[in-house]
Amino acid sequence: MTINATRRDVIKGAGALAVSFDLVADAARAADAPGQKLPGDLATSPKVSSWLRVEAGGKIRLLVGKVELGQGVLTAVAQLCADELDVDLARVAITSGDTRLVPDEGVTAGSFSMPNCGSAVRQVSAEARQILLGLAAKQLGVARDALTVADGTVKAPDGKSTTYWDIVANDAFEVQATGAAPLKPRDARRYAGRHVPRLDIPFKVTGTNIFIQDFRPEGMLHGRVLRPPAYDAKLVSLDTTSVEKTAGVVKIVRDGSFVGVIAEREELALDAIAELRALARWDVPATGETQDTVHDWLLRQKTQDILIKNEPNKAAKPAATVEAIYKRPYHMHASIGPSTAIAVLDADGVTHVRTHSQSVFETGAAIAEMLGVDKAKVHCIHMQGSGCYGHNGADDAAADAALLAQATPGRPVRIQWTRNDEHKWEPYGSAMLIKTVAALDDKGDIVDWSHDLWSTSHGTRPGARAGNLLAAHYLEKPFELPTPVNGGPPNYAADRNAIAIYAFPGQKVTTHFITSFAARASSTRGLGAYANVFAIESFMDELAARAKVDPIEYRLRYLKDERARAILQKAADMFGWKDFKRAPGRGRGIGFARYKGLAAFCAVAMEVEVDRGTGKVRVIRVSAANDAGEVVAPDGVKNQIEGGVVQSLSWSLKEAVRFGPGGVRSADWTSYPILTFSEVPPIDVELIDRPGTPFLGTGEASQGPTGAALANAIFEACGARLRDIPFTPAKVKAALQA
Amino acid sequence: MPALKVNGRTHDVDGLENSPLLFVLRNDLKLNGPKFGCGLAQCGACTVLVDGQPVRSCVTQVGAVVDQEITTLEGLGSLEKPDKLQRAFIDEQAMQCGYCVNGVIMRARALLDQNPHPTEGEVRLALDGNLCRCGAQNRMVRAVLRAAREA
């Protein structure tokens, strides 16, 4: 299998054949049929040819706008394609994330890839099969229904046969999908729902070209950018003469406060930046916030107050009212591989940008605005990078490379951020503060509930606006950061999962959205869901403890959704909740959510041990249960849930971006430590598969439940209620002494 | 003439003695295995073996390792013929993005060469200096133990 192809490869495969009138008639009939809504991104890119080509030599070229981030999505969509088209998986070659070749599927984020891309690929592959069978029927002179297909070879009952690639029917794909093509019954599928080893892994364990970092075009130069000492710093003076004279330094690019260097060798570029840093004089405005004051800052800001649920129980006569405040700090995406891009300005004025961006189309448009050129003059091509977990430095590195490439027409410029760049300049997951209030009756049952949250933006992705690109702020003619907008229903952003799934007699949820920034922030795995679920599920645990009721039983009182109840019960059974024997210093906790209220259901139970002397928390074991609807790639789903548990444990136990005078202080892995191999507990993941139901996005489902389960387990272990992430030993000790 | 011996082949590195080994391996020798992660010896993504010992190539100067035997990920096996450890990582689907995997495999290779049948605890301890952000640690530990079992 091949993962990306040049444009020539794709065009080469496109043979010519006149469109059959039968097919046109088929399409027309289906278009007349009412209620055929095209699934997922097929609705916005309905042409079959946008997604599929048959290539000479027996390959099926699948074109998708979603990109591989290490989540295994390309393997999953290949499974769907191979099944519906009746070909071996090895015949499926994928082109992904090339703005000139693939359907625009927006951003690869928000756990949307399987619902939007997966369901589109499945349907369009079924449509293509119908088209190919129609052509084969004509060629073989038999009725379409009489044909059978095995690995692209179409057989008539009399033994005559042809193949997809003999038909080469790409013109026939220049039709709108009908939505009417039948999907394979489950037992006729070879790949979907079964374990298929990921297609990219053999490349990655052997050092075979697959990462953007491995792309080395002829004549490539190495660029680096001199990032300012702080967000709002302005360059006052910089004498570049000495650096310019250094052998191997090709160019110094200066545009306002943006300074970059292009060199023949990577280490020379780094040396030049170090020298320039020593020579540069900056005007650095003072900043007052620290990680300890950032939540006070949140509360001091002017907010947009959005009532996202307003169904208070006006008749409630509570016996008691309980409230709690929960906090999360700024968290980093903290990719292991710093952001990378390679750009080249061609003679035709087009800048080609290799990037690991999640949003190639919109990032390309933003770069075009920054460069002051037409959108068509920027061509973005996705290549795999280090895992990103949201909007990290990928797009900014693409912008850096595109800017520098303007100075060396014809010669590609490669950027890879330093560790310092990545830690200090990526847009973080926003700090949040959440206040929950419950009105209780005399038995401790909830009669009314409110949830207020304060947050800055979780969405400053490029979105076709230059002002969202880091470098654009520092140009002589700078682009202003657009005023951020909070994402609304049904997915929400800061307030994602803020509406509790529980059927309380009353519920009121208010978002206090802050459009200014204490630190650069954007989409980080789960957006607000991580903190909102942490707050809701911690508070439920507190209320259960108060009512002296088992926390699972307490939840089930308010949980009407059968799939939600099933997943909670499954996690409890896996963990052995009922028969749990508490050892001294140990405790268990559970957390649950349906991601976004509309995606995967996930419950996480865990056991922890708390050292009362040091305050150190050790996670002993984790059981996670997940319902992602119909499962295409079982191991892929498990891997996402397991990885999400580990990352959320890391956020919740160890991570907080540190600030001080002058800005961000977390500049490397020592000042921003993450969970290590010896700290990762055994994690058991099981799935409830629901064949025939829609794909539910799962990549972000375990973040919130994990944080809450951890806090709840710490409470049972030692009686201390931790409401301020991360639960460092110092905070646990302080809570024990309180 | 100083020479760099990598995966059994000798390369002339005249004039590059002060360059970081990682950049020479990646940019001059066009090897993809070792990755740039931090440049500070904190994450392990750049790990290679020098005379069998795991070394962080991002902070190692070429001059310090000339004439020693350097092994990179490519030196273990190939796409067509992965070695046992690489095979075990495939069998266990032991990654998400795979960026850290070079370092994990190289560190594990050094461990297995020295201790062919490590306990799970010994594997975790050996890999504790290698950072993985996707959360695939348990899968990687299982892969190393599988390779040890099947060796």
DSSP string, A314-372: TT---SEEEEEEEEE--B----SSPPEEEEEE-TTSPEEEEE--S-HHHHHHHHHHHHT
By C-alpha distance, the chain B residue nearest A209 is: B32
In chain B, what are the domain boundaries? 3-75, 84-150
Q: Which of B137, B141, B145 to mutate to test the interface with A (most CBs of A within 10 A)?
A: B137
d(CA B73, CA A291): 40
Q: How many CB atoms lie within 10 A of CB A279?
A: 15
Find which of A1, A273, A677 to mutate to test the B interface (most B CBs within 10 Å of its CB).
A677
Is B124's CB within 8 Å of A386's CB?
Answer: no
Residues of B in contact with A682 (CB under 8 A): 138
Q: What's residue A479's pLDDT?
A: 98
Same fold flag, B3-75 and B84-150: no
Residues of A in contact with B135 (CB under 8 A): 642-647, 650, 680
List all residues 6 or more positions away from A41 whose beta carbon is below 8 Å from its beta carbon.
A65, A103, A105, A106, A116, A117, A120
Segment B14-18 mean pLDDT: 94
Name every chain B residue with its beta carbon within 8 A of the beta carbon of A640. 96
Residues A704, A725: Cα–Cα separation, whole Å: 12
- CATH 3.90.1570.10 assigned to domain A218-283+337-420? The reply is no
Q: In sequence order, what are the residues at sequence separation of 6 or more whose Cβ sits closer than 8 angstroms to the Cβ of residue A716? A: A582, A587, A588, A589
Predicted local distance difference test score (pLDDT) of residue A26:
43
> What pLDDT was estimated at residue B151?
76
Counting beta carbons within 10 angstroms of the beta carbon of residue A241, is it exposed (0 to 12), middle (13 to 18) or buried (19 or more)? exposed
Q: Which residues of A touch B23 (CB under 8 A)?
A: 265-267
Low-confidence stretches of chain A (pLDDT beneath 70):
1-36, 169
Subunit contact A205:B82, Cβ cutoff 8 A:
yes
The pLDDT, as a whole number, for residue A169 is 67
Q: pLDDT at residue B5 above 50?
A: yes
* Confidence at residue A5, expressed as pLDDT on a 0 to 100 scale: 41
Q: How far apart are CA A542 and CA A540, in angstroms?
A: 5
**Superfamily of B3-75 according to CATH:** Beta-grasp domain (3.10.20.30)
Q: What's the rounded Cα separation, in Å, for the pair A460 and A472? A: 14
- State what percent of residues in chain B have pLDDT above 70: 99
Structure tokens at A15: 């043979």
Residues for chain A: how many in total? 738
Opening angle at CA A582, ends A542 and A712, nearest 5: 25
Domains A7-206 and A218-283+337-420 share a fold: yes
C-beta atoms surrounding A522 within 10 Å: 25
Least Cα separation, residue B114 to chain A (angstroms): 20
Mutate to test the interface with A, among B49, B57, B96, B132 (most CBs of A within 10 A): B96
A7-206 CATH pick, 3.30.365.10, 3.90.180.10, 3.40.1440.10, 3.40.50.620: 3.30.365.10
Lateral strand order in the sheet of A601-610? A586-594, A601-610, A617-627, A683-687
| Both structure tokens of B108 | 């594990």
Residues of chain B found within 8 Å of residue A204, distances taken between Cβ atoms: 95, 98, 101
Is it true that domain A432-458+493-737 has CATH number 3.30.365.10? Answer: yes
Give the contacts of A163 (CB within 8 A, at least 6 positions apart).
Answer: A58, A152, A153, A154
A731 neighbors A718 (Cβ within 8 angstroms): no
Tens digit of each residue's pLDDT (9 = 90 or more) over A61-80: 999 999 999 999 999 999 99
- Cβ–Cβ gap B39/A419 under 8 Å: yes
CB neighbours of residue B84 within 10 Å: 17
Phi-psi region of A462 (alpha: psi -120 to 50; beta: other; left: phi over 0): alpha
Homologous superfamily of B84-150: [2Fe-2S]-binding domain (1.10.150.120)
Nearest to A47 by CA among A150, A136, A128, A164: A128
Give CA–CA dist A737/A581, Å, rounded. 26
| Tokens standing for residue A576 | 């052995």
Residue spans of the domains in chain A: they are 7-206, 218-283+337-420, 432-458+493-737
Q: How far apart, in whole angstroms, are the C-alpha atoms of residue A329 and residue A650?
A: 13
